[in-house]
Amino acid sequence: MSIGDDCALLRLRTGEELAVTTDLSIAGRHFQLEWHSPEAIGHRTLARGLSDLAAMGARPVAAFLSLGLPPQIVGRWLNRFLDGFFALADANKTPLAGGDLAESPAAVADIVLIGAVHRSRALLRSGARPGDLLYVTGQLGGASAGLAQLKKLAEGRHKRASKSKPVRELRIPPDLEDTLQPHLSPQPRLAQGQYLARHSLATAAIDLSDGLSTDLAHLCNESGVAAELDAAALPIHSAANLAQALHGGEDYELLFTAPPSARIPRNIAGVPVTRIGRMVRARADRPQIMLVTQSRSRPLESRGWEHFS
């Protein structure tokens, strides 16, 4: 801790338990100093942590931010990083309660989120049962499609760049802003997660950080079930293709399951909710996830998501 006491003191409300998550972001792996504005890196750093709270149905109580930065970017870069960070923090009523700043040869940001959730109401990955229906918030593949566009922009500039000049910030053309937005400023689904927890609607939930195919496999593993995805039902982002919707990471939407009897609204706090499949019994003789189309079914492999590396 850099200010005041050695620890931050926080209180929960009666009947709440703590939800804690940490996410480490590293230059070259989770963000690129040459591609991303400082504001976008600040926003994305916090969004990763808030999305974990959303997946548990927790409300944010406080954030802690540890930054290791090369000395040459501590000044104006840091201020702009914090602008992006605090814009998202304020929008989600998340106070920054402490942290640490040190010089580091590589830029790193570790975000810690402390959340609170009513006891035994937290959304877990392990509660899905055969027969449950599978839902997702928002749209799929937008972040991955945006990243692909950003890569193109960066590579185009790289080809044009003179070797004698330092790399300047990547300028985003106005006509690409909408396409890049899901990648540059993803919105954690806190209100949606809290709604599901408060009304005990979901049997299991996870946030889509590694991509639908990978995160659905996590949920299936933790719950000991299998899943069938309806290809035609997937809410694919207008800029994305099917592969990006299935395997692209960092959409930070919520994937959750609920019994057929649960009344799941078509949208929660302004974000659409779409039924995209169902959970089935896990069997040794069939793949864990099947992608079902009108004509045929095929197994869906988890491809993982590797950011930039």
Binding residues (CB under 8 A) for a copy of itself: these are 1, 4-12, 17-24, 26, 28-30, 51-53, 55-56, 58, 62, 64, 66-68, 97-106, 108, 110, 112-115, 117, 119, 122, 124-126, 206-207, 222, 309
Residue 137 Cβ vs a copy of itself, minimum distance, rounded to whole Å: 15
Distance CA 3, CA 194 (A): 32
Which C-beta is closer to a copy of itself: that of 157 or that of 307? 307
Which C-beta is closer to a copy of itself: that of 132 or that of 207? 207
Cα dihedral 235→240→245→248 (10° resolution): -140
User: Using alpha carbons only, what angle is made at residue 188 by residues 171 and 131, rounded to the nearest 5 degrees?
Assistant: 130
Which C-beta is closer to a copy of itself: that of 14 or that of 162? 14
Question: Is 173 buried (19+), middle (13-18) or exposed (0-12) by CB count in 10 A?
Answer: exposed
Sequence-ordered strand ranges (E) for 180-306: 204-207, 225-230, 254-258, 267-268, 271-281, 289-292, 297-299
Distance CA 198, CA 131 (A): 22
Look-up of token digits 């810690």: 112
Which C-beta is closer to a copy of itself: that of 231 or that of 258? 258
The answer to whether residues 36 and 73 touch, using CB atoms and an 8 Å cutoff, is no
Which C-beta is closer to a copy of itself: that of 103 or that of 177? 103
Residue type, 108: V
Residue 201 Cβ vs a copy of itself, minimum distance, rounded to whole Å: 17
Residue 25 pairs with which residues in a beta bridge? 109
Which C-beta is closer to a copy of itself: that of 100 or that of 169? 100
Residue 4 Cβ vs a copy of itself, minimum distance, rounded to whole Å: 7
Residue 52 Cβ vs a copy of itself, minimum distance, rounded to whole Å: 4
Residue 5 Cβ vs a copy of itself, minimum distance, rounded to whole Å: 5
Residue 208 Cβ vs a copy of itself, minimum distance, rounded to whole Å: 11
